[in-house]
Amino acid sequence: MQGEATLRLLDKADREIFKLPREVKGAIYDFQHKFRRDPANPGLRFKQLKGHPRLYSARVNQDYRALLLHAGDSDYILVAVKHRKDVYDNLDRFAYQINPVTGGIEFLDLVSIEETIHSGASRPDPRPGPAPEPVPTPEPKTLFAAFTAEQLLSLGVAEPLIGLIAKITTEDELLGLTEYAPQLTTEVLLALHDGRTYEEVLDQVTTPVAADEPVDAEDYQTALTRPATQVTTDDTALREALEDGFERWRVFLHPTQRKVVEREYSGPARVSGGPGTGKTIVALHRVKHLVDRLGPGDDTPVLLTTFNKNLAADLRQRLLVLAGNETARRVEIVNIDKLATQIVADAEPGGHRRWIDDTKALQEWEHLLDEQGETRWDAEFLHSEWSHVILGQSINSRADYFRARRAGRGRPISREDRAAIWQLVERYVKRLDEKEVWTYRQVAERAARLEIERARRRASYEADQISSVKVQRESGIWHRPRYRHIVVDEAQDLSAAHWKMLRAMVPEGPNDIFLVGDTHQRIYGNYVSLGSLGVNIRGRSSKLTLSYRITQENLKAALGILGEEEWDDLDDKREDLSGYRSVLSGPRPVLRPASTWDVELDALVDQIKEWDTPALSSIAVCVPRRDMVAQVENRLGKAGIKAVAIGPDGPKLWDAVHVGTMHRFKGLEYQRMILAGVADGLVPSDRALQYEHTDPLRYRRELRQARSLLFVAATRARDTLVISWHGQKSRFLGSQESPGHPGLPG
Ligand SMILES: Nc1ncnc2c1ncn2[C@@H]1O[C@H](COP(=O)(O)OP(=O)(O)OP(=O)(O)O)[C@@H](O)[C@H]1O
């Protein structure tokens, strides 16, 4: 063999490599350079392994050998690095195949897997709580006895593992097996063990990753290009994977993630998925994919936008890590309200208006109602009517408001009422004008109109250019589209005006808009129907279902919070979380009642002390109300625990416990989360509960939003989740209660 070679790293091989001594990792670094430059270099002692036509070994250092799978031509995959004695003494331990279901390449070291099964058997139970009474069992039952080998194979389980799987009797052994087993085998076995039926697993786990075409078991070259082959995508990625602090999401995408990232879409596309399924990761990879395909002379940027400022900052930082400066330079990353403000500021330079948030906007309503002596409607109702019905549908006149749809808005209002409300809204807007302030929604609405007008002028300019030779070449930029592509994260919280603005910013066509979001996590009450806003996602929707953040235990608890509520798909259809699952496991969530808020605060301090970790920012405390944030901060401070509130721009300090209201936790994640004050009256709030009899529709909407808020908060934990309350436990935590004991109703 002569000339250069490519070398990729197979998923999970990095895990074993990571555990090798430092000097061996250094040697691998040198090895991969040499190998790529010239695999025939005699110093590498590159040779085929007996009985394995595609498997080769090569020298890393005196004691260690790299195992390389030949995919064809000069393409190799690094599948393991092992001590010399573990390579040549027992060659039967190695197996590889193209999975007949997915068409992805899989490698197995049966001895390593067997070892981890046995170490799994002696693993300590990660879940606290009373130890189960030992029950004498004559014959341990195997976990997968109910399924035939044919069934397991048809679900995509790796054939060489069938024998080992038949012997598994405990969950810990199963977790041991999954450490080095191929991804699909792991997912299938855990889903079956979780109680899903064969048909459910086929439908939810296997089919989404099955190959689209018949699989040729010998064509490794084609297999290498399939999303189901989880390898680093290029040579540089392999080098990164060996570095300290390597983040796997950068190179190993799940096959369903890779599919949605690389697909060609004929128009706007939507990716949904429960918390932690990698929607943000997918949005970042999609941006990279789109930039990689831009022509060299194409300087129209790609827009990456999200809901708030600190998430935008996080996206920028992660895009730099993923794709580097050159790519990031071609991407505009900005939160949606800032984008709208820029548009308005550019169009109306010299404006002095300040933004006000919803709390301030409500105060203004209250003052207006007091001054007018108006008691028929409260500030909340009027603010919501103005924001969601009037601004939400771009209503400009009284006549249009008379005709406006108010579906799902709560109590019906007469024509006479509408006339009075319209008058109040006019006075309110005038009041804000005089004070030179405006709400984010007003800015978004104004920006949408400006962009629609700009798009209209651009379209007529283009039409003129085509139809008339006399149009001069103008140097103005208004006739260029603002963006080539738009990618949106946290799509569930954007308002109708935001979507109208975005729609006008990018020409309709292939890959124009790519949005990711989860309507179960909608916390700002913006219900939209994308189709009616010109963002037609029909036929271009996909779903991610495997959570990389949440453990199975926390996932069950979080799903319990959602209850029987119904959710939409941003486009007037229903959406659910069927298939949502995890392969991670950890401690069960802890439910902790307290008699008073004071006692709850004491327990919170004790809990953090008990964790006794120097990594304070791996801990977060989430509370339902702003005043409680200050109280928690205060109490932690008194106990000598450094704490900091999460502000609108995110947390200011990184060596402190982060404390915030539920809204502030959107998009974040922490090793350990405490949700405090999860009591009825707070979650949902008394304010929401007051509508139960007066306005049932509104009551339902408020309750759904409160559920979503608690769902967002509870799904931020990577590992430990503690939920506490004082007084009456929140109705969203289910009916079972076992004070002092861990566990939540599933
Ligand atoms: N392919 C992957 N490999 C490894 N880790 C991944 C992968 N995809 C996602 N993750 C990790 O899972 C976690 C959740 O990812 P991400 O934030 O993208 O999920 P999300 O769906 O946007 O979550 P949420 O809806 O809760 O905000 C992150 O820590 C991320 O690094």
Query: Would you tell me how many other CB atoms lie within 10 Å of the CB of residue 214?
Result: 7
Ligand 1 within 6 A of CB of 548: yes
* Ligand 1 midpoint to CA 209 (Å): 18
The answer, yes or no, to whether any atom of ligand 1 lies below 6 A from the CB of 275, is yes
Q: Give the closest residue (by CA) to ligand 1 atom 1.
A: 253
What is the Cα–Cα distance from 255 to 183, expressed in whole angstroms? 10
pLDDT at 299: 85
Q: Cβ(281) to ligand 1 under 6 A?
A: yes
The pLDDT assigned to 352 comes to 78
CATH number of 6-123+145-225: 3.30.2310.20
Question: Buried (b) or exposed (e) across 445-464, using 16+ Cβ within 10 A?
Answer: bbbbbbbbebbeebeebeee
Residue-wise pLDDT for 657-680, tens only, equals 999 999 999 999 999 999 999 999
At 154 the pLDDT is 97
The confidence score (pLDDT) of residue 744 equals: 45
Separation CA 107–CA 642 (nearest Å): 47
CB distance 83 to 111 below 8 Å: no
> What is the fold of 581-733?
Rossmann fold (3.40.50)
Kindly report the number of other CB atoms within 10 A of residue 88's CB atom: 12
Instruction: Establish whether residue 268 lines the binding site of ligand 1, counting it when its CB lies within 6 angstroms of any ligand atom.
Output: no
Cα separations in angstroms, 58 against 18, 55, 64, 491: 19, 10, 9, 48
- How remote is the CA of residue 559 from the centroid of ligand 1, in Å? 18
Q: Calculate how far, in angstroms, residue 275's C-alpha sits from the geometric centre of ligand 1.
A: 8
pLDDT at 76: 95
Which two tokens mark 265? 């879409």
In this structure, the number of other CB atoms found within 10 A of the CB of residue 408 comes to 11
Note the pLDDT of residue 421: 95
Nearest-CA residue for atom 6 of ligand 1: 249
Q: Give me the pLDDT at residue 358, please.
A: 86
- Residue 96 Cβ inside 6 Å of ligand 1? The answer reads no
CA 549 to ligand 1 centroid distance, Å? 6
State residue 745's pLDDT score.
Answer: 42
Q: How far is CA 65 from CA 51, 82, 94, 234, in A?
A: 18, 5, 14, 22
What is the reported pLDDT for 468? 54
The DSSP element (H or E) to which 710 belongs, if any, is helix 696-714
Ligand 1 atom closest to Cα of 273? 21
Interatomic CA distance for residues 173 and 162, integer angstroms: 14
Ligand 1 center to residue 63 CA distance, Å? 37
673 CA to centre of ligand 1 in angstroms: 17
Interior CA angle at 616 toward 612 and 618, to 5°?
105
**CB of 558 closer than 8 Å to CB of 523:** no
φ/ψ of 373, rounded to 5, equals 65, 35
Q: Say how far apart CA 402 and CA 389 lie, in whole Å.
A: 11
CA-closest residue to ligand 1 atom 23: 276
Q: Is the CB of 724 under 6 A from ligand 1?
A: no
User: What is the rounded CA–CA span in Å between residue 742 and residue 587?
Assistant: 9
Residue type, 598: D
pLDDT tens-digit series, residues 52-64: 999 999 999 999 9
To the question of whether residue 236 is assigned a binding role by annotation, the answer is no
CATH architecture group of domain 253-345+444-548: 3-Layer(aba) Sandwich (3.40)
Q: Which atom of ligand 1 is nearest to the CA of 282?
A: 18
Mutate to test the pocket of ligand 1, among 183, 271, 280 (most ligand atoms within 8 A of CB): 280
Taking CA atoms only, the protein residue closest to ligand 1 atom 24 is 275
Q: Determine the atom of ligand 1 nearest the C-alpha atom of 544.
A: 21
How far apart are alpha carbons 78 and 35 in whole angstroms?
11
Question: What pLDDT, on the 0 to 100 scale, is given for residue 17?
Answer: 86
User: What letter would DSSP give residue 299?
Assistant: -
Which residue of 229, 249, 518 sits with most ligand 1 atoms within 8 Å of its CB, as the best mutation to test the pocket? Answer: 249
* DSSP alpha helix (H) spans, 206-357: 220-225, 235-241, 255-262, 279-292, 309-329, 336-347
Flag residues of the chain having pLDDT under 70.
1-2, 120-139, 408, 466-478, 735-746
Quote the ligand 1 centre to 308 CA distance (angstroms).
Answer: 18
What is the spatial distance between Cα 57 and Cα 133, in angstroms, rounded to a whole number? 49
What's this model's pTM, rounded to 2 decimal places? 0.91
- Residue spans of the domains in the chain: they are 6-123+145-225, 253-345+444-548, 354-435, 581-733
* Residue 276 known to bind ligand: yes
The confidence score (pLDDT) of residue 737 equals 46
Q: Is the CB of 278 under 6 A from ligand 1?
A: yes
Asked if the domains 6-123+145-225 and 253-345+444-548 are classified in one and the same CATH topology, the answer is: no
581 neighbors 546 (Cβ within 8 angstroms): yes
From the CA of 274, how far away is ligand 1's center (Å)?
10
Give, for ligand 1, the residue of 253, 549, 622 to mutate: max count of ligand atoms closer than 8 Å to Cβ.
549
Atom of ligand 1 nearest to the CA of 254: 1
pLDDT recorded at residue 303:
98
Q: Is 259 annotated as ligand-binding?
A: no
Ligand 1 pocket residue status of 261, Cβ below 6 Å: no
